[in-house]
Amino acid sequence: LWARVASDLVISIDMAVAAEFYGGLTDDGMTKRNAAFAAQFPHVHGIVGNSHHLPTERAMCNLLDGRPIDLLFIDGDHTREGVQADYEMYGKYVRPGGVIAFHDVICDPSRSAPLEIDVRSFFDTLPGPRFVFHAGSYWGGIGAVIAA
């Protein structure tokens, strides 16, 4: 979706641990996927790495080349600590008035607690107006805030 609607730069950060737990891609699979996206959408750049590691942040900064982020979509480590770490590490790059969005802010606690999914508890601490979009289901949803 972002590759089609964004006209300038799209950066994706993914790590292979998702393959082990959620049927995602391996490092090799991600590298191939990123190359396929880049062939079709030259403005899309994929970084394979852990979003909590400084080399990953540096790789993103190199691609940004001083430009601010318009939309930051956080959909990685779904623990409260992981979401907070991504917000603190990458939120500072979002331009004032830009959007910081979070995946899975709506989760049935009986299903999310065993998986340590706790995006909402961090999302609810953020200052300013918060917006939540969902289809009325017990899982998923996107929460968004406007960066100061």
pTM: 0.85
pLDDT, residue 3, reads 81
Please check whether residue 39 is in contact with residue 50, taking contact to mean a CB–CB distance below 8 angstroms.
Answer: no
> Cα–Cα distance between 95 and 17 in angstroms, integer?
30
Please check whether residue 139 is in contact with residue 104, taking contact to mean a CB–CB distance below 8 angstroms.
Answer: yes
> Cα–Cα distance between 138 and 77 in angstroms, integer?
19
pLDDT tens digits for range 74-133: 988 888 899 999 999 999 999 999 999 998 887 766 766 656 678 888 999 999 889 998
